[in-house]
Amino acid sequence: MTTLLETRALTKRFGGAQVINGIDFQVTAGEIRCVIGPNGAGKSTFFKLITGEHRPSEGSVHFLGRDMSHVLPHERIRMGMSIKFQIPGVFPELTVRQHLQLGLHRARDDRPESLDALLQRFMLEGEESVLAGNLSHGKKQWLEIAMAVSLGPKLLFLDEPVAGMSVEETHATGELIMRLREAGLTIMVVEHDMTFVKQIASRVTVLHGGRLFADGPLDEILARDDVAEIYLGRKK
Three-state SS string over the chain comes to CCEEEEEEEEEEEECCEEEEEEEEEEEECCCEEEEECCCCCCHHHHHHHHHCCCCCCEEEEEECCEECCCCCHHHHHHHCEEEECCCCCCCCCCEHHHHHHHHHHCCCCCCCCCHHHHHHHCCCCCCCCCEHHHCCHHHHHHHHHHHHHHCCCCEEEEECCCCCCCHHHHHHHHHHHHHHHHCCCEEEEECCCHHHHHHHCCEEEEEECCEEEEEEEHHHHHCCHHHHHHHHCCCC
Question: Which residue would you say has higher pLDDT here, 111 or 106?
Answer: 106
Dump pLDDT digits (tens) for 169-204. Answer: 999 999 999 999 999 999 999 998 889 999 999 899
Q: Provide the pLDDT for residue 3.
A: 94
Q: Provide the pLDDT for residue 229.
A: 84
To the nearest whole number, what is the mean pLDDT of the chain?
90
Question: Taking the model in full, what pTM does it have?
Answer: 0.90
Q: Provide the pLDDT for residue 87.
A: 65
